Structures are given as structure tokens and as C-alpha cells.
A and B are shown apart, each in its own frame.
Chain A
Amino acid sequence: MRLQFTVNSRLCEADDVWEGESLLFVLRERLGLWGAKNACEQGECGSCSVVLDGVLVCACLVGAGQAAGREIVTVEGLSDDDGLDPVQEAFLEAGAVQCGFCTPGLVVATHELLRRHPSPTDAEVREALAGNLCRCTGYEQILDAVRLAASAGPARRAE
């Protein structure tokens, strides 16, 4: 299949996509966007989290053909030439990054949470990030990072 997507506000095309392929495979292997990570391919870890038409999803569980013509935002779409997104800054500041494998997924999930709830309670944060596993930090610094990002004001980007 040949498919078109809008990824991080850019129109992209992928050729020879296998019909059973996931959006994650297309992003990483065909479009060279390695931000979304491939760890479990079964929806358990959240390291492949992206935003599809405004909704947080595991890219490994979206059929490539299902994403065709739709808008996708990956972690690469959060920063620009002016610098990092406030959520990314907060993760660095709070020491919420160790090996970094879970970070893109957590940044995207946090960004999406703060877009909907600019000042979430701790319970809301835990619930919103329950689908993102981290094997390094023990999560406390991640919670600190989310609090920090929330206190720094609403994330710059709407999507």
C-alpha cells in the first residue's frame, strides 16, 4: 500500500507498506522518526505513545492503514528550533530521565494530559501515566517532572 499521513504538521508518504503493518513500524522504519520506541509491540509499555487525531494511542496497536490521512504528533513534533517543549525541560530539570527509553512516550503522554488538564492532581497524573512503564527511575522523579511542567504553565502547543 502507499499511504499518506500528516506527521508533526508535515505531509508524509510511505510506499510498499505491508497491510498488517503498525503505525509504529511506519514511523520508525519508513519515515525515520525514531522518537517513538519499540519495546513490547503489545500495548503494555507505552514507549510508542503518539497522538493520533488528538487522541493518545500506542502506535504499535494502530494499523498503518487506519492512520492514513490522519494527523499524527510524535515526540519529535513537540520541540522546534526555538528549543524544547516545557514538558521536556521539566523532565530534564527533575532528573526524570535515566536510560531514556521510556522518556519519549512519557513526554507525549504528559503533554497530552496537560493539554486536557493543565493542573492535574497526583491521582490524575498516576492514572494518566498508568500505561507508560519505566524500569529505571522508580517514577518519583517523573511525577516531579509532571508537577514542574504543570506549574510552568500550559504546554505551548495545542496538539
Chain B
Amino acid sequence: MDFFVPRSWADALAAKAEHPAAVPLAGGTDVMVELNFDRLRPDALLDLSRVEELQDWGHDNGALRVGAGVSYTRVIDELGKLVPALAMASRTVGSPQIRNRGTVGGNLGSASPAGDAHPPLLATGASVEVASVRGSRVVPVEEFFTGPKRHVLEPDELIYAFVVRPAAGPQQFSKVGTRNAMVIAVASFALALDPEKRSVGTGIGSAAPTPLRAKPAEEFLEGELASGALWDAPRPLPERLVAHFSELVASAASPIDDVRGTAAYRRRALAVMARRALGWAWSEYQRS
């Protein structure tokens, strides 16, 4: 096995182009488990933890660009106000030790339907910037996942960053699991309200082959908020509106029965999380 240690982004891309089968290693919280348990024996590992460019975040034309190597701990400590739903989700990941090492780029790279970063990235309309020696491209998060643990990366491509509009309004994330720490989501849900664009974003996790948006729910709520002039005069939302929104979220999912929960339970949990997330987000908007 080879162990490549590029020190710059250009070197990382060159190494990946030359050794497309090399497995990128960021925080290692997914890859090392596979190695320790003999489930992965790649020809080479490509250590990205010393690539400075991946550890940076900054603003770019009003958007926020966060390097793939930024850990959950840093998302929580440094980006809580800019990407509140992602910060909430990051707080639920594993344990302090896991959050100190695990990265959003690694979560995208693993592309698990249960990855906790994914619903917030979907709800906030984020994009993934990927690159190779051939050039770079920007993939909307909702087009990034192609199946369970599968994504659109070509063999010579690496994830550089995600790009997102800083929060313009309330965001929420909620996750159901068997206890509070160290839990893979049985189902999860993220919501982002954008009063400037007058738009609603959603993201569902662990309830379909890939993370996904509940577009009918988004459109329904956008329509109701517009027709009721609720953005300008935020009254309490009618119960029937909230109920219908949560039903639309639940029906957008296509969950399965597995060891962590049944499909029926996941649908039910999604409806409850959607109702609560909307309640919390809307009261925050009313107060603002």
C-alpha cells in the first residue's frame, strides 16, 4: 500500500490523477474503521489532512465557502451563525472525539443516506465544489448523491469545499435515534426559511436511498406564506397548514425497514420532526 501526503491542493489533485484508486483520507472516522476491520485494502491512501486549502473557510461574493477538511467542531465553534442548521446537525455527530476529526467533506465522500450534514446542506441549497487536474465544477447537493454511499465524483476528482448562502432566516435540524450521543440517525430533517428570497428549504436524511429534499412540501409552504402575506405579517401558522406541510414531508421519503427502524416509524418520525421544526423556526421568525 502507498501513503501519499500532499501538502497543497495542486499536489493532491496531481496525486489523485496519477493514482485514481487511491482512497482519500480526511478525518479518518469512516475510512479507518474500514481499514481496522479489514473491509478496505486499497492500493493507496491519499492523506488530505495536511492540505492547508481544505482547512480554510471564507466569504466569496456573498456566499460562504467552507473547505472539505473543516471539522464538525469547527463548524460548531466558528460557523454557528452562518450555517445554523449544519451547526445543529454537527452537534449531534458522534462524540467530541469524532467531531474533532470528522469533516463535512468526509461526510459527503461517504455519501451515507444517514449522513447528518446532508439534510442541512440540502435545505440551505448548498453546492459541492469538486475538482480534478482537468478543472473544477460545482454540483448542487441535491444532484451530488446517486445512491446509497454513491456520489457523482469521477475517479480523479476530489471534494474541495461546499458553498452556501449564509443564513438569512431561521434554520432547524432534528434527528431521531436511540440515545443522545453517538447515534446514527433513524431519520432526520432540516428546515431553512429564507425571508429575503421568500423561500423554504428542506432536507430529509435516513429515509430514502439518498438524502433528499421534500420539494412538494417546500412549494406548498412557500405558496401559503405568500398568499397569506405571512412573511410580512407573521401570525401564528394555522394548524391545518402545519399538518399538511408535515404530511408532505413524510410522503416525500421512501424509507425501508432495517435494524434501526421500520419504514412506518420513519415516516411518522419525519412528520413529527417537520411539524416541530416548522413550529420552532416560525416562532423564531415571529420574534425577529
Residue ranges of A at the interface with B (Cβ–Cβ < 8 Å)? 1, 18-20, 22, 41-44, 46, 49, 55-58, 60-63, 65-66, 109, 127-128, 130-132
Contacts and interface: CB of A to CB of B under 8 A. Distances in A.
B97 A62 contact: no
Given A41-B37, A42-B36, A130-B180, A49 B45 contact: no
A154 B91 CA distance: 26
29 contacts: A19-B45, A20-B45, A22-B32, A22-B35, A42-B36, A43-B33, A55-B73, A55-B100, A56-B100, A57-B97, A57-B100, A61-B32, A61-B33, A61-B98, A62-B28, A62-B32, A65-B3, A65-B45, A65-B47, A109-B97, A128-B96, A130-B180, A130-B182, A131-B94, A131-B95, A131-B97, A131-B181, A131-B182, A132-B95
Interface of B: 1-3, 5, 25, 27-29, 31-33, 35-37, 41, 44-45, 47, 49, 73, 94-98, 100-101, 180-182
A76 B35 CA distance: 27
Contact of B28 (A18, A19, A46, A63): A63
Contact of A61 (B1, B2, B3, B29): B29
B30 to A, nearest CB: 9
Contacts of B35: 20, 22
B47 to A, nearest CB: 6
B182 A63 contact: no
Given A56-B100, A131-B95, A131-B181, A43 B29 contact: yes
Given A56-B96, A63-B28, A131-B94, 5 more contacts: A20-B41, A22-B35, A46-B95, A65-B47, A130-B95
A20 B1 CA distance: 8
A42 B95 contact: no
Nearest to A42: B33
Contacts of A57: 97, 100-101
B101 A62 contact: yes
Given A20-B1, A43-B29, A66 B47 contact: yes
A41 B33 contact: yes
Given A20-B41, A130-B182, A63 B96 contact: no
